[in-house]
Amino acid sequence: MDESAVRDRLRKVSDPDLGDDIVSLGLVNAIDIEDGTVHISLALGAPYSPNESAIAADVRDVLADTGLEVELSARIPEGVSPSDQVLPGVKNVIAVASGKGGVGKSTMSVNIAAGLAQLGARVGLFDADVYGPNVPRMLAAEERPHTDGELIVPPERYGVKLISMDFLTGEDDPVIWRGPMVHKIITQLVEDVQWGDLDYLVMDLPPGTGDTQLTILQTLPLTGAVIVTTPQPVALDDAVKGLRMFGKHDTNVLGVAENMSGFTCPDCGSVHDVFGTGGGQGMADEHELPFLGGVPLDPAIRTGGDDGDPIVLGEGETADAFKLIVENVANNAGVVRRREVSQGR
């Protein structure tokens, strides 16, 4: 079997999101056959996303009866997306944002990062919430960064490399920084941290649409953003403002995630919609965005955050809700990257 015959086989493999076969979409970078092994490079950009794993499995299936050993690699071709010299070893930068505080944005960031690492991905988490950095507590990260003489080496917890604004301040010290200082610190932490090779860098942004968000949008090549809200109309109004901020900077929005979607009474089993119902889904539908999923109002989330034990790493309904959001975030990041390849070829 030659390269042309292999390519014809690959036309039977469909992209579940882009609606065409991987050859027509330009997602096959190269095919090399040597000593009974076919080496195939695919333009897949979201490691461990369920849909990209399914594409790889389908590639193996269509070649299963050829007698060839199949070796797959994944690489987004250079020049397809904007050049990334700021974080050259990072495949995807995902911002987690909310229009207002108190909607569980940091909880979502921590569980997305820990959930991606649990899938097997190489993950970093940048706690960029300048005025309320609490991610180290939520990961029980007691180790602080150190330097190797040139770069800042981040500590690692649950397989997640962590940098937080909290590491730059004393315990209980308030942060009183003006815009230029925020810009300088964010830029320095991005450029001077030894992130290494990462599949995903999750950015926990402060609430609102201020200097930190603007710096990150202007500095980093974001794959996309996750908008966090509760079902409450007040939260939704502010979430839309955050959504429009990303739109003005031509940043992809991977979807809407909803916290506090309902409380199941442990005594009677009935569900109480404390903050309303359906708001996140409605917002996603109105703006033609994916709804990533909803997480119930569960006391175990608070306990996990306070104790540094992300609930996504456990079992049960709430853990499963977070795991679904993690998978959807990875899948939608993959859609963004594969669409870039298909449109840029």
Q: Known binder of ligand: residue 170?
A: no
Residue with tokens 């981040």: 154
- Please tell me the distance from the alpha carbon of residue 155 to that of residue 124, in angstroms, as a whole number: 10
- Please tell me the distance from the alpha carbon of residue 48 to that of residue 117, in angstroms, as a whole number: 9
- Please tell me the distance from the alpha carbon of residue 296 to that of residue 260, in angstroms, as a whole number: 5
What's the one-letter identity of residue 64? A
Quote the tokens at residue 113.
Answer: 């990062």
Q: How far apart are the first and last CA of the chain?
A: 27
Angle between helices 105-119 and 299-307 (to 10 degrees): 80
Q: Known binder of ligand: residue 101?
A: yes
Q: Known binder of ligand: residue 242?
A: no
Q: Known binder of ligand: residue 323?
A: no
Nearest in space to 203 (alpha carbons), one of 156, 133, 141: 133
Q: Known binder of ligand: residue 102?
A: yes
Nearby residues of 345 by Cβ (< 8 Å), 6 or more positions away = 26, 80
Nearest in space to 336 (alpha carbons), one of 220, 270, 276, 251: 251
- Please tell me the distance from the alpha carbon of residue 139 to that of residue 147, in angstroms, as a whole number: 21
- Please tell me the distance from the alpha carbon of residue 191 to that of residue 195, in angstroms, as a whole number: 9
Taking the CB of residue 194, how many other CB atoms lie within 10 A of it? Answer: 15
Binding-site residues sit at 99-106
Binding-site residues for ATP sit at 99-106
